């Protein structure tokens, strides 16, 4: 089994690179952002609660996303491994993920962190906002709230994995295929 955390601030390229990685390594893609947007689209109770926070650029509560990941791990026991995209976003989520994976007799093998400057993130997300229809992409002030949530609550998750010797930083600025190739080089050193 191969379990990878793809990490980085909003707009770093996690979703973009995840699509390429799942094609190449046939891993199951677990994006908490995609799961939450699906709950919103289906107008579930969970989705209605999450929408307000997400539209404002804030994180949804830990127990909500941990529960969604738990369900997906149980539903995909035969998978060759997982790419966690946008999860964990807090140290509490990272600790919960370690526990959930150990219940399945596995663990995280590698955290790949895409590094991108704040100005580039804002630029990318405003461009995506022209077509994504996402309220959190359309307003620079909300994008900066998301970056602030990342800096204050999420960045320390990298230190958590660094302490386990699993952290690798990758330059997330430049050509998408070149960034993908740098990610693959790191994965192949683990596998
Ligand atoms: P996510 O869905 O995870 O959204 P994101 O961080 O905006 O997306 P991503 O980072 O994948 O986008 P990408 O860089 O690929 O989260 C949305 C919200 O959900 C959060 O704000 C929060 O409210 C909630 N949430 C999700 N998970 C949670 C959790 N675990 N705990 C609590 N709350 C949670 O793409 C960005 C753009 O850049 C694209 O348009 C892409 O085309 C472009 N791009 C990518 N790579 C590029 C490159 N190399 N050069 C130029 N452009 C590039």
- pLDDT at residue number 191: 65
Ligand 1 atom having least distance to the Cα of 128: 40
In a 3-state reduction of DSSP, which class is residue 111? strand
What angle, rounded to 10 degrees, do the helices at 91-103 and 62-75 form? 20
What's the pLDDT score for residue 78?
A: 94
Q: Looking at the CA of residue 93, tell me the nearest atom of ligand 1.
A: 30
Q: So what's the pLDDT on residue 187?
A: 97
Say what percent of the chain tops pLDDT 70: 99
pLDDT in tens, 7-59: 999 999 999 999 999 999 999 999 999 999 999 999 999 999 999 999 999 99
* pLDDT range class, residue 178, cuts 50, 70, 90: very high
Separation between Cα atoms, residue 154 and residue 139, nearest integer Å: 21
Q: Coil, strand or helix: which one is 47?
A: helix
Specify the ligand 1 atom closest to the Cα of 174.
Answer: 49
Residue tagged 């509560």 (tokens): 61
Plot region of 87 (φ>0 → left; ψ -120 to 50 → alpha; else → beta) = beta
Ligand 1: residue whose CA is nearest its atom 46: 13
d(CA 163, CA 27): 25
Compute, in angstroms, the gap from residue 124 CA to the centroid of ligand 1.
10
144 as an active site residue: the answer is: no
**146 flagged as catalytic:** yes
* CA atoms of 179 and 182, how far apart (whole Å): 5
CA quadruple 19, 84, 170, 15: dihedral sign: positive
Q: Is the predicted pLDDT of residue 153 greater than 80, yes or no?
A: yes
14 Cα to the center of ligand 1, angstroms: 6
Q: What is the mean pLDDT of residues 89-111?
A: 98
CA angle 111, 58, 15 (to 5 degrees): 40
Flag whether the pTM goes above 0.85.
yes
- The pocket around ligand 1, CB under 6 angstroms, is made up of 10-16, 32-33, 36, 53-54, 57-60, 65, 86-87, 89, 93, 124, 128, 136, 146, 176, 179
Give the CATH superfamily of 2-190: P-loop containing nucleotide triphosphate hydrolases (3.40.50.300)
d(CA 117, CA 133): 24
pLDDT tens figures, 110-150: 999 999 999 999 999 999 999 998 999 999 999 999 999 99
Q: What letter does residue 174 receive in the DSSP assignment?
A: S
* Given 37, 49, 51, 134, the catalytic residue: 134
Among this protein's residues, is 124 annotated catalytic?
no
pLDDT tens-place string over residues 66-86: 999 999 999 999 999 999 999
Rounded to 10 deg, the angle between the 176-190 and 14-25 helix axes is 50
Per-residue pLDDT, 120: 98
Measure Cα distances from 18 to 32, 43, 65, 92 in Å: 13, 26, 19, 23
């Amino acid at each position: 089994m191969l379990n990878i955390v793809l990490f980085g601030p909003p707009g770093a390229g996690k979703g973009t690179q995840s699509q390429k990685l799942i094609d190449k390594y046939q891993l199951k893609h677990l994006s908490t952002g995609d799961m939450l947007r699906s709950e919103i689209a289906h107008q579930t109770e969970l989705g209605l609660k999450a929408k307000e926070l997400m539209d404002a650029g804030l994180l949804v509560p830990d127990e909500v996303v941990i529960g969604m990941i738990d369900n997906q791990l149980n539903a995909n026991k035969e998978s060759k491994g997982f790419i966690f995209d946008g999860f964990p976003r807090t140290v509490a989520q990272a600790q919960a993920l370690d526990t959930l994976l150990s219940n399945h007799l596995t663990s995280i093998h590698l955290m790949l962190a895409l590094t991108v400057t704040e100005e580039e993130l804002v630029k990318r997300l405003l461009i995506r906002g022209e077509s994504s229809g996402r309220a959190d992409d359309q307003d620079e002030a909300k994008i900066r709230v998301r970056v602030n949530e990342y800096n204050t609550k999420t960045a320390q998750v990298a230190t958590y994995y660094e302490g386990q010797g699993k952290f690798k930083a990758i330059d997330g600025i430049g050509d998408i295929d070149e960034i993908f190739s740098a990610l693959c080089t790191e994965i192949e050193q683990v596998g």
